[in-house]
Amino acid sequence: MPAAAQKKKVTPSSKPLKKFVIDYSKPADDGVFDGAAFEKFLHDRFKVDGRPGQLGDSVKIVKSGNTIIVTCYVPIAKNYLKYLTKKYLKKNGLRDWIRVVAPSKDKYELRFYNVEKEDDDDE
């Protein structure tokens, strides 16, 4: 088999490459968002080497307070976390009210959409 056709297996390094934070404090304070279920969803769906749910030592997902900290020892795109978060929101029917915002380089926040109330005077 040619060398280009073989997939390289990624081995974890001793030092974390990236550390991402997902802050869901605003939806959790309103009782809309379940952090434990979201953490389980990430554990089950996160793919390493093309296999979902088998994180091993490559990725650590830890819930602390109203944040989830994802520590990656292998190269992983930040956008992949946004993709999984949006997928979770869609699955639970929250996608119409909550959005995923990146306030800094290594952090995501879940915020409610800004909905302005309109005055209906014609009634």
**Which tens digit of pLDDT belongs to each residue from 42-94?**
999 999 988 998 888 999 999 999 999 999 999 999 999 999 999 999 999 99
Q: How confident is the model at residue 119 (pLDDT cuts 50, 70, 90)?
A: low
Q: In what order do the strands lie in the sheet with 18-23?
A: 59-64, 67-72, 18-23, 107-112, 98-104
